[in-house]
């Protein structure tokens, strides 16, 4: 599994597996946020199974905030901000590829004044290409 850092307290990852849960615990991650709808794909493990794997590994902080990249709204960004703000750090957010998690983070950071080029650069360093979302990120700026 690829766990890549976006900022001081936030890591992103693609879909989790049972083997990933132990690695997450070994890395000291305290909270996991799932940004995928449950049963989005037939091969995807359901949320109850993932939560069980994480709990067995000692990771008890788990939140589900399903979104789709093209439909992310301001309230989704605010919910993500609140989840991270209330979470025990570090936090791992995951979805199918890491794009949704990166977008939620990027929209929040753009609204806080981070330059869009920096957002795109950090996401790229974490393996996620947000270039197709540049205009939406520009519009998220205050």
At 107 the pLDDT is 97
At 1 the pLDDT is 62
At 142 the pLDDT is 59
Assigned token pair, 71 = 């439909």
Share of the chain above pLDDT 90, in %: 87
Mean pLDDT, the chain, rounded, equals: 94
> 85: number of CA atoms within 13 Å, CB side?
7
Q: How far is it, in rounded angstroms, from Cα 121 to Cα 138? A: 14
C-alpha distances (whole Å) from 39 to each of 46, 64, 102, 135 are 6, 13, 21, 30
pTM attached to this predicted model: 0.94
Assigned token pair, 49 = 């199974």
At 84 the pLDDT is 95
pLDDT digits 0-9 by tens, 25-61:
999 999 999 999 988 888 889 999 999 999 999 999 9
At 60 the pLDDT is 92
Assigned token pair, 29 = 């991650």
- Please check the confidence at residue 108 and state whether its pLDDT lies above 90: yes
């Amino acid at each position: 599994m690829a766990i890549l850092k976006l900022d001081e307290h936030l890591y992103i990852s693609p879909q989790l597996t049972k083997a990933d849960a132990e690695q997450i615990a070994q890395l000291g991650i305290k909270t996991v946020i799932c940004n995928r709808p449950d049963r989005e794909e037939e091969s995807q493990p359901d949320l109850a199974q993932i939560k069980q794997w994480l709990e067995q590994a000692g990771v008890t902080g788990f939140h589900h905030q399903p979104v789709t990249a093209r439909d992310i709204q301001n309230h989704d960004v605010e919910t993500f901000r609140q989840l991270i703000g209330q979470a025990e750090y570090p936090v791992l957010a995951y979805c199918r590829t890491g794009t949704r998690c990166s977008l939620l983070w990027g929209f929040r950071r753009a609204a806080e004044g981070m330059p869009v080029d920096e957002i795109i650069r950090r996401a790229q360093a974490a393996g996620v290409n947000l270039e197709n979302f540049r205009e939406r990120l520009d519009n998220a700026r205050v």
